[in-house]
Amino acid sequence: MKGSCLCGAITFEAIDPVSGFSVCHCGQCRKWSGHLWSSTHVPDNSLKIEGEVRWFQSSKKARRGFCPVCGASLFWKHADDDHTSFARGCVDGPTGARLKRHIFTADKGDYYDIADGLPRS
């Protein structure tokens, strides 16, 4: 599975992708992406990134990787976890993936509803 940012300066390949992904409704993801950020969490050694990702320290333990050219919101990484999340929306071509759950729904914006019946946390 391959993906890229909007301008193509950064590409990534998930070697062992799982078929499900989550969408995060937290305030940070909302600000970062402009609405919601959907991602899949994979072991670091199964994600190959090419290009100069810029990282923003978004909290004490977490940082967010983006393209310094086009600004695409690409990666999320916790300091104590050997996994990285990559943006589901940046995967190229058919993904065969399905949205599996909603997270941080207590922080969701008041301008939309979640109505698909999927698990929430």
Applying CB under 5 A, the residues found at the interface with Zn ion are 5, 7, 9, 24, 26, 29, 67, 69-70
Reported in sequence order, the residue ranges of the chain that DSSP labels E, i.e. its strands, are: 2-4, 11-14, 20-24, 37-43, 47-50, 54-57, 62-66, 73-78, 83-87, 98-103
Map residue 46 onto helix, strand or coil.
helix
Nearest to Zn ion of 45, 57 (CB atom): 57
Is 82 or 121 the residue whose CB approaches Zn ion more closely? 121
Question: Of 14 and 22, which CB lies nearer to Zn ion in the complex structure?
Answer: 22
Least distance to Zn ion, CB of residue 28, Å: 5
Cβ-based nearer residue to Zn ion, 18 or 70: 70
| Least distance from Zn ion to the Cβ atom of residue 65, Å | 11
Q: What is the nearest approach in angstroms of Zn ion to the Cβ of residue 33?
A: 9
- In residues, how long is the chain? 121
To Zn ion, the closest distance from the beta carbon of 86 in angstroms equals: 14
How far, in Å, CA of 115 to CA of 91, rounded? 25
Residue 71 sits at φ, ψ, to 5 deg, of 85, 5
